[in-house]
Structure 1
Amino acid sequence: MDWLDHRSTPENPVVQRQELLDFVFEGQRFPLIDNQLGIRKPSGWTAALSILTTYTSDGARAPYEDALGADGFLRYKYQGNPQHYTNKGLREAHALKVPLIWFFGVRPGVYLPFYPVWIIADEPHLSQVAVGLDQSQVTLAHDAASLSPLERRYSERISRQRLHQPLFRQRVIYAYDSSCAMCRLRHISLLDAAHIVPDRDERGIPAVSNGLALCKIHHAAYDENILGIRPDLTIQVRSDILQEVDGPMLQHGLQAMNNARIALPRRRVDRPNMEAIEERYERFRAAG
């Protein structure tokens, strides 16, 4: 985890599969993930060290549809037979209350690490464990059966903020080749994953097809309906903004975007959902 603190930066928060397999500790090769399995329990260890979720495209599976329980806690499925040594390692991690690392795939062979995480419940009847992303969820898990609706919503918000939002951001930015879809800025630390249908809307799912990689100024302008995207994927700047007179940011950063086309991901499955684009454009028109 100390190595990850130094390895994962705002500019490059992800890690490659091979460097996780080639990790060296005290002069010895010590993989941080299993080469074949989703759970890493090193030989001689009692508890598991890490869990891994492989990348799955939006087209293959609805994102996170089976990961979040009604109590707001994330779930992780057993590795096959409940008595498999890796699953026993998860149960031991729960019993010993030791932290793990969760590597979540953002594209094939590339992972976004979340740590420390804790196994907060074992659910053998469902072949899964519940995972806590911070100490507040660990505390809530002590009385999971009697959580109030407010506590469940709080737990769900933690799961979305700690995992879903960073994961959505990274997958969207990768899909757009680490550049703003409007101005092509390529500084990752200045890029956001903007929802087309807002995430506060129940249909605003964290799928790449509901996202756009935008720099922070264009993300804010999009959210504030200063500019919109027409169904032909052309940018439209609000008429009153086009008539304003101000400095170079207004002129080059906003007004110059009018009638420009947005850049699209190479993979068709990652491209914007057109129904979402049309719905959001109607909101832009109404706001104008």
Structure 2
Amino acid sequence: MTDSPMEEAFGARVRVAAMDWLRQRCTDDNFLVQRNELLNFHFEGERLPLVDPNRGIRKPRLMTAALSILTTYTPSGRRPPYDDRPGVDGLLRYKYRKTGPQQADNVALRVAYERKLPLIWFYGVAEGLYLPRFPVWLVADEQEQLQFAVALDEAQLLMPITPEVRIEQRRYAERLTRQRLHQPVFRAQVLRAYDGSCAICHLRHVSLLDAAHILRDSHPQGIPAVSNGLALCKIHHAAYDNNILGIRPDHVVEIRTDILKEKDGPMLRHGLQEMDGLSLSVPRMRRDRPDSAAIEHRYEEFRKSA
């Protein structure tokens, strides 16, 4: 499929403008975008939605290659409509629309793949709310499996797409995927559940908040689910990870005894010692609240370290 020079130039300008807008729009304190914002994006004086109102693949009318892909938010416990999971090489896959390789949207993605064009991936973290990842690239068209392989950054862009990939390369690809997509999605979902506030000290500067795992990432049940997460400011996250701070099964904060006896500056006194005995703030939605078994397991770890 060949574009006219005018169409090719138009598509290039759209990509640059869309990604420039997202860089300016998504700050450290406001990094999620609403669906209405994406539907009302304007380019050169005209409305040009960055997502399709009804589909996961967006190809504007005057372009032959896709501009963006979208993963719909799926609440905990429900099966997602498309199974976009990593392949044996550690790279994520994005599924075709179910109608087959020659469906128009799938063809638009194939054009982007063949021309090595950058795309925007909008990943749903709540109903109508998305975490943008860009630029991403399609690096393999696996028609038998009805899917494309996706590189989330330039390092993955250079990785081989083969079933015989070395285990070190696969682990490297998986680590990049966690850093570029899974961890940011987990953080976004946890911070949203906690209304952008530290569950202990109530600090509301989102750029200073983390999503802390209750059961550690290395634990077999340390899944990136909101019920296994806590929104904590960076000092309380570090204190929790290092067992300076613990959370009892009744959601009361404990500070390690030796830390309570220390004498230091105002950060120790106000930031840690005065947190001892406070009740943890938890999400309004019951399904998002800390898993009781995970909290109890982690508290036992804290007690053994004291």
Tell me the TM-score normalized by structure 1: 0.95
1:207 & 1:120 partners in 2: Cα distance? 29
Q: Which deviations, in whole Å up to 9, do the C-alpha atoms of 1:73-115 show, x marking residues without a partner?
A: 1111112201221111111111111110000111111111000
The corresponding residue for 2:241 is: 223
Q: Which deviations, in whole Å up to 9, do the C-alpha atoms of 1:100-148 show, x marking residues without a partner?
A: 000011111111100000111122222221111012211113x433310
2:75 & 2:252 partners in 1: Cα distance? 26
The answer to whether 1:33 aligns with 2:64 is: no
Higher RCO (CA-CA < 8 Å; seq separation 6+): 1
Tell me the TM-score normalized by structure 2: 0.90
1:65 & 1:29 partners in 2: Cα distance? 32
The answer to whether 1:111 aligns with 2:130 is: yes
For structure 2, which runs of at least 5 residues remain unmatched after alignment? 1-18
2:111 & 2:54 partners in 1: Cα distance? 21
The answer to whether 1:268 aligns with 2:280 is: no
2:38 to 16, 20, 23: 20
Q: Report the number of matched residues.
A: 286
Whether contact under 8 Å (2:64, 2:108) holds in the other structure is yes
Q: Offset at 1:26?
A: 0.4
Which amino acid is 2:142 matched to?
Answer: E
SS of 2:230's partner is strand
2:208 & 2:83 partners in 1: Cα distance? 29
The answer to whether 1:279 aligns with 2:297 is: yes
Whether contact under 8 Å (1:231, 1:277) holds in the other structure is yes
Q: Offset at 1:59?
A: 2.8
The corresponding residue for 1:257 is: 275
The corresponding residue for 1:132 is: 151
Which amino acid is 2:217 matched to?
Answer: D
The corresponding residue for 1:248 is: 266
Give the direction of change, closer, same or farther, for the CA distance of 1:9–1:175 in structure 2 (3 Å limit): same
1:70 & 1:202 partners in 2: Cα distance? 20
For structure 1, which runs of at least 5 residues remain unmatched after alignment? none
The 5 A counterparts of 1:77-96 are: 77-82=95-100, 83-96=102-115
1:144 & 1:46 partners in 2: Cα distance? 28
Whether contact under 8 Å (2:84, 2:94) holds in the other structure is no
Q: Which deviations, in whole Å up to 9, do the C-alpha atoms of 1:190-209 show, x marking residues without a partner?
A: 10000111112232111111
- Kindly report the root-mean-square deviation, in angstroms, between the aligned alpha carbons of the 2 structures: 1.5
Whether contact under 8 Å (1:140, 1:147) holds in the other structure is no
1:162 & 1:32 partners in 2: Cα distance? 21
The corresponding residue for 2:256 is: 238
Whether contact under 8 Å (1:67, 1:75) holds in the other structure is yes
Whether contact under 8 Å (1:59, 1:269) holds in the other structure is no
Which amino acid is 2:68 matched to?
Answer: S
Which amino acid is 1:89 matched to?
Answer: A
The corresponding residue for 1:213 is: 231
The corresponding residue for 1:165 is: 183
Q: Offset at 1:65?
A: 7.5
2:114 & 2:166 partners in 1: Cα distance? 25
